[in-house]
Amino acid sequence: MNYKRWIFIAIFLFGAGLIFGLTTPADLANLISQEIAALEEFGDTIASLPLPLVAILIFAKNASALAISFVLSPILCLAPILSLTLNGWLISFVSTTVIQEKSLSFLLAGLLPHGIFEIPALIMAQAAALSFGAMAVMAIFKKEKRKLLSPNFKQNLKYLLIALALLVPAAIIETYVTPLLLT
């Protein structure tokens, strides 16, 4: 299966997560809101660090998540599937809460500047992980697929590296621009 198809599959999974987030029951939403409040305290701690360090931490967190998903993808592609659906779910769930408590313009100011880079990076990296993971699983069961595993890995590693490069401007924008837009 070519990489474009994996991109469409990744977009579909991310979109499914977005829909799940919009349909989250209120009871679960209240429980999760308490957890998000605890995360906000952690965010305040990070915000007290020097800005260059914050940008490095944001990049490192996002890059490690993508790399781990890629490495774990041969385990039935579970890591990229979960990453795409959970990230989509979290974005839509938090977005509905932010729109209710603040406004749509506040949400867009907080999400769009870095999301323009970060969301495509997520989709690109997870599509590469899905492609590699599926090929690895097929190589286990079909001998003729084994010779394709190394070229598949190399090609998808290139896509992963491009995605990681997109995380650099995303982290910089999230650190330096987004806080200015939210004040």
Residue-wise pLDDT tens digits, 15-45: 999 999 999 886 676 666 666 666 677 777 7
What value, to the nearest 5°, has the Cα angle with vertex 1 and ends 17 and 156? 75
DSSP 102: S
Residue-wise pLDDT tens digits, 55-78: 999 999 999 999 999 999 999 999
Smallest Cα–Cα separation from 85: which of 19, 21, 32, 14? 14
Confidence (pLDDT) at 35: 66
Confidence (pLDDT) at 101: 86
